Amino acid sequence: MIYEELYINDLYLIKPKIYKDNRGFFFESFKNSDFKKNIYDASFIQENQSYSKKGTLRGLHFQKYPFEQSKLVSCIYGEILDVAVDLRKDSNTFKSHYSVKLNSINNHKLFIPKGFAHGFIVLSDFAIVSYKIDNKYMKSHESGIIYNDKELNIDWILNESEIITSEKDKKLNNLKNEI
């Protein structure tokens, strides 16, 4: 696997080596020893999956201290635009965001460390997203930023009229009110 550190410190795009032949393909999707050597000693405690139809936008979510979560995100079917926003006040990339297309063709993964908000939008007819987390979820510490925050100015690719989000996510605060 290739571990590519991105312009936002501690954020990594992970590209597997894919072995293809006339039967299909094979790749290692996660190897703890490599992950530990290249990023950090992950202690993932849970893996989640979501199924979403085209235009579904989930996020931008994060957990507040002491229940912050690192995530290892992949799209195992379809295609998404995955977005991470740096909320670490001591970071030189504070308030910056990174977006990348994850899909079941490139099989890339995005590692998002603690201190980031995370969200994604489905670009294909539907998508199945899988992600590992390293800390438990606590409803009392959940938070988020509205996806269309003007300060972040994230290009979600789809038109506003195509975006489907939950009532809960529609009520999220702007960045300036959340940090």
Residues marked active site are found at: 61, 131
CA 117/CA 161 separation, integer angstroms = 23
The Cβ of residue 95 has, within 10 Å, a number of other Cβ atoms equal to: 16
The Cβ of residue 107 has, within 10 Å, a number of other Cβ atoms equal to: 17
CA 42/CA 173 separation, integer angstroms = 30
Nearest to 129 by CA among 48, 64, 71: 48
CA 103/CA 108 separation, integer angstroms = 7
CA 122/CA 131 separation, integer angstroms = 15
CA 154/CA 67 separation, integer angstroms = 26
Nearest to 86 by CA among 109, 106, 114: 114
